[in-house]
Amino acid sequence: MTERRPGQPPPDDEDSFPRVRSGNPQVDEILGGGFPSNSINIVMGQPGTGKTILAEQLLYHNAGDDRPLLYATTLSEPLSKVVSYVQRFSFFNPDVLGSDVMYEDLGASLAERGPVALIEWLDEAIKTRSPKIVVIDSFRAIHDLGTSLDDMRRFISALAGLLSAYDVTTFLLGEYTQADIERCPEFAVADAIVELARQPLSTRDERFMRVMKLRGSGYREGQHAFRITSDGLQLYPRLVAPREFESYKSSSERVSTGIPGLDEIMGGGLLVGSTTLAVGMTGAGKTTLALQFALEGVRRGEQVLYVNFQENPVQLRRAIANLGGEPATAFKNGFGLLYASPVELQIDSIVVEIFEAIKTGGVRRVVIDAVGDLSSAANDPRRLHDYLYSLIQHFAARGVTSVLTLEAGQGFHGMEPSDQWYSYMSDNVIALGWNVAKPDRRTIRVFKMRSSEHDHEVREFEIGSNGARVT
């Protein structure tokens, strides 16, 4: 470890702050690199939230050293069940079971001799097996042995003393509640506390991970959604706005919308990195406008990402053809499609996928059709707001020009008060509708264009066999 002189900032490298990787890069990312080595960590959550899977994925990932990794069950889940279920996951490796990864059942000795049996077992394990990592599942169950709070404090002090003296990283798993954090003395000695939670949402559950404490290290705050898959935990780190903006070529550079007449009423096109909200009633032409914008990007040789919750891929191919485009050619030449059924939509995964695409895929244009579907999938509107705001900031930082569509009713621009924040966070707002006097004619009006002059008139928005145009 680097030695610090007075006044020097604390170093934050692997050498100064060694970590234990979880076997899941996204979990490590929110922990600032992983769990701290030689630490006591609590993984808390109600039954079925994924604590055991998180711990076992970590153990199998770290197997292969010449020091064993111990997994001890106590009085909660029977050892046979733990071992039986772990075999269903892709990270399970039978070659290391019994040699590198060792399971033990402490239930009988704890029931017979009380919490001291755990310390005796750990002391013996340290002296005879030199474990690198120890998992106790469930540690919360030890409270159920009828031990008084005073006795428990003494027990925790002795346990923490032993674990801190030796080069071992410990994970205490437990069905703790928020109230337990103040009541249970193990939280005072914990170096890291990670909570796993499950919240019911409509016909399915959403799972979240939250880092509540991490001594000596920064971490990503807030709730991070995850799923349990056959590969273990699939985590979607909460998207935050970029810290620094990469400068794109010029703030005055514009891209064409691909819609004849629209660039002219928008000061020459959309500013690079700007976000445009296309809001309007059903059938007003939102998807046509957005799709034409995307196809214009393909025509210019740009990578495009079309995020779609409305039409399935077959319907979208038909829509491209209806605009005079050749779907196969478009897909071959840079038209990327990210389709998710609104029924299965999880905003965290969608937002992370969009972010990954713009980060790694060189995407220059993005369409999200329609953002309202994200609202209906989100159990927390504030969370959706934060996500979209962060995503839009990343678009701006990377010079990605985007169009979002939003279904709205009649009226000024038809937006419900609850949807008006979409307008605030967008650089440009275009309202699409129907001409009251001529109900078969569509209209378009540019309501807002940040940092640009634009036409304020209501114009006609014609959709023909070759697409849309403004007249």
Partner 1 sequence: MHREAPIEQEGSALILVVERDPHVRALESYFLNEAGFTVEFAVDGAAALERARDLKPEIIISEVLVPKIDGLALCRAVRGDAQLRDVVVLIFSILAVEARAREAGADAFLRKPLAERRLVDTVRELLSVRRTSRGREEAT
List contacts with partner 1 (CB under 8 A): 1-4, 16, 38, 66-68, 126-127, 129-130, 161-162, 164-168
Q: Which is nearer to partner 1, 26 or 39 (CB)?
A: 39
Residue 93 CB, nearest approach to partner 1 (Å): 20
Sign for the CA dihedral angle at 438, 443, 448, 452 comes to: negative
Q: How far is the C-alpha of 445 from the C-alpha of 470, rounded, in Å?
A: 10
Residue 35 CB, nearest approach to partner 1 (Å): 15
Residue 111 CB, nearest approach to partner 1 (Å): 26
- Under 8 Å between Cβ of 429 and 276: yes
Question: Residue holding tokens 């275009």?
Answer: 430
Q: Which is nearer to partner 1, 17 or 339 (CB)?
A: 17
Q: Which is nearer to partner 1, 127 or 204 (CB)?
A: 127
DSSP assigned state of 97: B
Residues with Cβ within 8 Å of residue 280, at least 6 apart in sequence: 286, 406, 407, 408, 414, 431, 432, 433
Residue 170 CB, nearest approach to partner 1 (Å): 12
- Under 8 Å between Cβ of 384 and 347: yes
What's the token pair of residue 50?
């994924």
Q: Which is nearer to partner 1, 132 or 238 (CB)?
A: 132
What's the token pair of residue 457?
């008139």
Q: Which is nearer to partner 1, 59 or 347 (CB)?
A: 59
Residue 64 CB, nearest approach to partner 1 (Å): 14
Q: Which is nearer to partner 1, 130 or 333 (CB)?
A: 130
Taking every pair of C-alpha atoms in the chain, what is the biggest distance, in angstroms? 89
Q: How far is the C-alpha of 187 from the C-alpha of 201, rounded, in Å?
A: 30
Q: Got the DSSP string for 275-291?
A: EEEEEE-TTSSHHHHHH
Q: Which is nearer to partner 1, 145 or 162 (CB)?
A: 162
Residue 122 CB, nearest approach to partner 1 (Å): 11
Q: Which is nearer to partner 1, 162 or 319 (CB)?
A: 162
DSSP assigned state of 199: E
Residue 1 CB, nearest approach to partner 1 (Å): 4
- Under 8 Å between Cβ of 278 and 290: yes
Q: Which is nearer to partner 1, 126 or 351 (CB)?
A: 126
Q: Which is nearer to partner 1, 164 or 322 (CB)?
A: 164
Q: How far is the C-alpha of 272 from the C-alpha of 185, rounded, in Å?
A: 55
- Please count the CA atoms within 13 angstroms of the CA of 423 that sit on its side-chain side: 19
Residue 105 CB, nearest approach to partner 1 (Å): 22
Q: Which is nearer to partner 1, 129 or 318 (CB)?
A: 129
What's the token pair of residue 56?
């076992």
Give strand ranges (E) for 349-427.
Answer: 363-369, 401-407
Q: How far is the C-alpha of 301 from the C-alpha of 26, rounded, in Å?
A: 33
Q: How far is the C-alpha of 334 from the C-alpha of 466, rounded, in Å?
A: 21
Q: Which amino acid is at 177?
A: T
Residue 169 CB, nearest approach to partner 1 (Å): 10
Q: How far is the C-alpha of 107 from the C-alpha of 457, rounded, in Å?
A: 77
Residue 74, classed as helix, strand or coil, is coil
Residue 162 CB, nearest approach to partner 1 (Å): 5
Residue 23 CB, nearest approach to partner 1 (Å): 22
Residues with Cβ within 8 Å of residue 460, at least 6 apart in sequence: 435, 441, 442, 443, 444, 470, 471
Q: How far is the C-alpha of 290 from the C-alpha of 279, rounded, in Å?
A: 11
Residue 40 CB, nearest approach to partner 1 (Å): 12
Q: How far is the C-alpha of 35 from the C-alpha of 27, rounded, in Å?
A: 9
Q: Which is nearer to partner 1, 98 or 381 (CB)?
A: 98
